[in-house]
């Protein structure tokens, strides 16, 4: 038989989270929104929504992911198991290939994209045969209208009614079995009732199991179908009915829990309002769907409303609660020129903004997209578990076969006994709990991080974070606020006004924070003086800038730049030392012959930096400062936050080599930087962490982890989360395997019944899912009280 990885798919996917686990999950406490079923999420704009009737379990999802992995051009997949839908974000020309791949994997898919012509039509050849309604009233009503907000139990109800009926019938069958020992009529009635229960609960399982067996696959459906049919045949019909009903209930509950964990983040999308108040050409304000609002449009946000689109404040002043994007619990001050993010909540003031990004391209949309992608990558532990499960199912199947065939001769069991115990083994063979435990855990951890404003681009990074031995930190913008100010200026030679004008003209051309600080401070000083003409402007990476200013060759840059031109003297060196010891960065303006002026720039340390550094140290992680600035300044800043290891001055490519050296010397090394000029080092590090990612697209693309706000304490928190996640993963594996082992023992000893085995499996699944969902609480992760 084929033992390819389809077998991993045994089982119900998403295991279980039962209503109670669901209710306890903090996920649903999204601000000011009625709770909704996961299935209500609209597909991402432009995505194709497919209904795949045979996909309601994590294993089947894994199958389909695998099938689509080879299709180039797919940007993201969004699975909704309870609704049995898959939203594919991909260019239109990719869709036929994608549909083909899904078909080839044995799944029928129907295009149900809302509002698309032809939606509802079978998308693959053999769709028709299967698209009848398997979960009456349940699957169907979800994929479609998402708009209305119904209670969170809604999606569960119809399926539960049917399965509740199945369970009731199974119980009746059990009773009739006990009562009807002697009576043929009661026996026949009991059999009929049991058959009814199996039909109600097991149509799907039997159909899918049969299909799997035809393809020589051993998935959970095949196992259950064989077990239930076998039990019925050997006269254990009440048992067969009970097993089928319990199994189906467990599966439904599991699918819902998995969706719940998965949607913890995606529901954030619903936080951006659908409409914006836009100023029209004639000056009127009119509500318009956000998708139709053009860039640069002026949008008004009333007090207390959610910001509809990313933009820049043009009028008004107030505070905005940015928790949904950055995870910051405190409202942030906004004034004209500041960035606003879609989905965040305006305070008590009216704000006007200029739209800077399309709705589908907002920071929030990017976060959601990145999390979706992260969920489709598998952490190493997940791969390990999947591999194990793939071998485990056929192994137990073989064991069951052995028991049925050999035990009667070897162990002197009756045939009926042997077959029954073999069937129990089959039920135990379901590695559901095991398979489900890892994705639920990883997805919950990813979700917890994202809700705290930390975007982790894959479970693998989260798994690796706990192994970090060193964290390289950038100075500007990471340890410091990244908004340096000019604190001292002194003209050393020549005409004072002219020197300042030259410096302002030169600095104004650079976007380096040091230059910007100088330009900003000088801009308003000599009022009315127009900037001097600047020609042949050139940035000297990591050192400064040079140009012809009004025809004169000038440089503005660090000490090294001036020193190597032989323009330093003892007095200047002494003055530089004084500034550097205070942690200031000095830029010098010089012509070919002498230093003309000195500008000392200071950046404020972030309040959290020292705390974060101490926490890293306490975890056994060595913090290292890598700076482009001079040694003395870097050391002064490092000393203030408690970092002892400093490497400075480094050029960008030297930072990269420094990372490699740290990896050699200490082990896995992360690099935290602003993500803009540190890109190569971020890429080389085991985990590249971009700080303050909310504003910068480049950082969001380049890094493995994006901290949306600037809080360095998210780093130790990330490591803590990683440790916690790993602990939960191991707990879950132990739990799942332990429970199996116990029942395997009972089964072989002959004291386990089939329904006990199913119950144990369901219990194990519920436990591991509940355990995994615990991570959603983000405990120890945020600094929120
Ligand atoms: N455009 C510029 N204008 C003024 N000074 C500059 C400029 N570019 C570089 N420098 C000087 O060179 C130093 C190193 O610059 P670089 O950009 O490599 O480091 P940084 O990013 O400022 O510091 P860190 O790496 O610590 O964050 C700066 O501290 C500054 O003194
Ligand atoms: Zn010098």
Query: Residue 87 contacts by C-beta under 8 Å, 6 or more apart in sequence?
Result: 43, 44, 47, 48, 49, 50, 77, 78, 80
For ligand 1, whether the C-beta of 545 sits within 6 Å is yes
Nearest CA to ligand 1 atom 8: 544
pLDDT surpasses 90 at 739: no
Give Dmax over CA atoms of the chain in angstroms: 118
pLDDT surpasses 50 at 23: no
Residue 541 CA: which ligand is closest?
1
Q: Report which ligand 1 atom has the smallest distance to the Cα of 651.
A: 18
Q: Report which ligand 1 atom has the smallest distance to the Cα of 539.
A: 1
Active site residues: 474
Is the model more confident about 277 or about 7? 277
Which residues sit with Cβ closer than 5 angstroms to ligand 2, an ion? 563, 568
Probe ligand 1: pick from 603, 628, 654, 679, max atoms within 8 Å of CB?
A: 628
Q: According to the model, what pLDDT value does residue 26 have?
A: 31
Is the model more confident about 366 or about 49? 49
Q: How far is the CA of 562 from the centre of ligand 2 (A)?
A: 7
Q: How far apart are CA 5 and CA 423, in angstroms?
A: 23
Q: According to the model, what pLDDT value does residue 32 have?
A: 30
Q: Report which ligand 1 atom has the smallest distance to the Cα of 474.
A: 27
Give the dihedral of Cα atoms 167, 168, 173, 177; nearest 10 deg: 100
Q: What are the C-alpha distances in Å from 524 to residues 248, 318, 408, 528, 530? A: 73, 25, 97, 9, 11
Query: Which of 140-149, 172-181, 378-387 has the largest mean confidence?
Result: 172-181
Nearest CA to ligand 1 atom 31: 558
Q: According to the model, what pLDDT value does residue 784 have?
A: 43
- In the chain, % of residues over pLDDT 90: 22
Q: How far is the CA of 532 from the centre of ligand 1 (A)?
A: 23
ipTM value, please give it: 0.96
Residues 497-514 have a mean pLDDT of 89
Q: How far is the CA of 578 from the centre of ligand 1 (A)?
A: 19
Identify whether the C-beta of residue 237 lies closer than 8 Å to the C-beta of residue 243. Answer: no
What is the three-state SS of 198-248?
A: HHHHHHHHHHHHHHHHHCCCCCHHHHHHHHHHHHHHCCCHHHHHHHHHHHH
Report residue 188 as tokens: 């026949």
Q: How far is the CA of 678 from the centre of ligand 2 (A)?
A: 27
Nearest CA to ligand 1 atom 27: 476
Upper half-sphere CA count for residue 333 (Cβ side, 13 Å): 1
For ligand 1, whether the C-beta of 556 sits within 6 Å is yes
Q: What are the C-alpha distances in Å from 263 to residues 314, 443, 666, 726, 781? A: 34, 9, 38, 22, 20
Q: How far is the CA of 627 from the centre of ligand 1 (A)?
A: 9
pLDDT surpasses 70 at 150: no
Residues 453-466 have a mean pLDDT of 88
Residues 420-425 have a mean pLDDT of 84
Q: Nearest CA to 112 among 144, 148, 80, 74?
A: 144
Q: What pLDDT digit, counting tens, does each position of 584-635 carry?
A: 999 999 998 899 999 999 988 888 899 999 999 999 999 999 998 889 899 9
Q: How far apart are CA 276 and CA 297, in angstroms?
A: 10
Q: How far is CA 294 from the centre of its chain?
A: 29
Residue with tokens 């020292």: 610
pTM: predicted TM-score of the whole model, two decimal places: 0.76
For ligand 1, whether the C-beta of 595 sits within 6 Å is no
pLDDT surpasses 60 at 272: yes
Q: What pLDDT digit, counting tens, does each position of 363-413 carry?
A: 887 777 777 777 666 677 777 877 787 777 788 788 888 888 888 888 878
For ligand 1, whether the C-beta of 512 sits within 6 Å is yes
pLDDT surpasses 60 at 281: yes
pLDDT surpasses 70 at 269: no
Is the model more confident about 125 or about 411? 411
Q: What pLDDT digit, counting tens, does each position of 682-708 carry?
A: 888 999 998 876 656 666 677 889 888
Q: According to the model, what pLDDT value does residue 43 have?
A: 64
Nearest CA to ligand 1 atom 17: 542
For ligand 1, whether the C-beta of 544 sits within 6 Å is yes
Q: How far is the CA of 602 from the centre of ligand 2 (A)?
A: 20
pLDDT surpasses 80 at 81: no
């Amino acid at each position: 038989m084929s033992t390819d990885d389809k077998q991993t798919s045994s089982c119900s996917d998403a295991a279980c989270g039962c209503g109670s686990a669901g209710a306890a999950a903090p996920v649903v406490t999204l601000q000011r929104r009625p709770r909704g079923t996961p299935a209500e999420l609209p597909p991402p704009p432009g995505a194709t929504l497919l209904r795949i009737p045979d996909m309601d379990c994590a294993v089947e999802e894994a199958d389909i992911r695998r099938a689509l992995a080879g299709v180039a051009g797919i940007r993201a997949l969004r699975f909704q198991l309870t609704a049995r839908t898959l939203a594919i974000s991909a260019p239109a020309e990719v869709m036929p290939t994608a549909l083909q791949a899904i078909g080839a994997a044995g799944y029928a898919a129907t295009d149900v994209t809302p509002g698309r012509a032809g939606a509802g039509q079978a998308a693959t050849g053999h769709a028709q045969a299967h698209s009848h309604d398997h979960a009456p009233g349940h699957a169907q009503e979800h994929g479609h209208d998402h708009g209305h907000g119904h209670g969170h139990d809604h999606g569960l109800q119809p399926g539960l009614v049917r399965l509740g009926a199945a369970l009731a019938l199974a119980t009746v069958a059990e009773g009739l079995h006990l009562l009807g020992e002697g009576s043929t009529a009661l026996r026949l009635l009991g059999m009929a009732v049991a058959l009814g229960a199996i039909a109600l609960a097991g149509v799907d399982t039997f159909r899918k199991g049969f299909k799997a067996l035809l393809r020589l696959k051993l998935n959970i459906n095949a196992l259950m179908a064989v077990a239930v049919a076998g039990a019925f045949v050997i006269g254990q019909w009440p048992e067969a009915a009970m097993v089928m009903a319990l199994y189906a209930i467990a599966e439904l509950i599991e699918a819902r829990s998995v969706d719940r964990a998965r949607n913890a983040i995606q529901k954030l999308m619903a936080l951006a309002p659908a409409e914006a108040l836009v100023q029209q050409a004639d000056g009127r304000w009119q509500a318009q769907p956000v998708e139709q609002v053009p860039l640069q449009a002026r949008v008004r946000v009333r007090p207390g409303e959610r910001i509809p689109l990313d933009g820049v404040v043009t009028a008004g002043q107030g505070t905005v609660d940015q928790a949904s994007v950055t995870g910051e619990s405190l409202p942030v001050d906004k004034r004209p020129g500041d960035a606003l993010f879609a989905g965040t909540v305006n305070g008590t003031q009216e704000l006007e903004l200029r739209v800077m990004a399309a709705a589908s391209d907002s920071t929030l949309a990017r976060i959601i997209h990145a999390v979706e992608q992260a969920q489709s990558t598998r952490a190493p532990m997940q791969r390990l578990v999947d591999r194990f499960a793939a071998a485990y199912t056929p192994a137990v199947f073989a064991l069951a076969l052995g028991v049925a065939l050999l035990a009667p001769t070897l162990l002197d069991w009756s045939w009926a006994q042997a077959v029954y115990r073999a069937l129990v083994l089959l039920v135990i063979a379901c590695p559901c709990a095991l398979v489900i435990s890892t994705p639920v855990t990883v997805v919950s951890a990813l979700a917890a991080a994202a809700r705290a404003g930390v975007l982790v681009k894959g479970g693998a990074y989260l798994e690796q974070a706990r192994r970090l031995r060193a964290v390289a930190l950038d100075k500007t913008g990471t340890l410091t606020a990244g908004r340096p100010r000019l604190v001292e200026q002194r003209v050393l030679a020549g005409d004072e006004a002219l020197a300042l004008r030259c410096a302002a003209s030169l600095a104004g051309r650079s976007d380096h924070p040091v230059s910007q600080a100088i330009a900003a401070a000088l801009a308003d000083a000599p009022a009315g003086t127009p900037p001097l003409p600047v020609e042949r402007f050139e940035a000297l990476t990591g050192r400064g800038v040079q140009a012809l200013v009004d025809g004169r060759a000038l440089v503005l840059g660090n000490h090294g730049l001036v020193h190597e031109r032989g323009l330093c003297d003892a007095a200047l060196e002494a003055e530089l030392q004084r500034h550097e010891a205070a942690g200031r960065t000095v830029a010098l303006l010089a012509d070919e012959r002498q230093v003309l002026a000195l500008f000392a720039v200071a950046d404020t340390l972030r309040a959290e930096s020292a705390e974060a550094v101490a926490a890293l140290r306490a975890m056994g992680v060595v913090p290292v400062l890598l700076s482009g600035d001079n040694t003395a300044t870097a050391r002064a800043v490092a000393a203030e936050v408690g970092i002892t290891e400093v490497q400075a001055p480094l050029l960008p490519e030297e930072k990269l080599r420094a990372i490699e050296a740290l990896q050699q010397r200490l082990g896995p090394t992360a690099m935290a930087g602003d993500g803009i000029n540190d890109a190569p080092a971020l890429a080389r590090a085991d985990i590249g962490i971009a700080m303050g990612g909310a504003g910068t697209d480049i950082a969001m693309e380049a890094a493995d982890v994006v901290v949306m706000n600037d809080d360095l304490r998210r780093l130790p928190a990330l490591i803590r989360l990683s440790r916690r996640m790993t602990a939960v993963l191991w707990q879950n594996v132990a739990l799942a395997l332990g429970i199996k082992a116990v029942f395997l023992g009972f089964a072989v000893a002959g004291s386990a019944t089939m329904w006990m085995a199913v119950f144990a499996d369901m219990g194990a699944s519920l436990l591991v899912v509940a355990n995994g969902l615990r991570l959603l609480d983000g405990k120890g992760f945020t600094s929120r009280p």
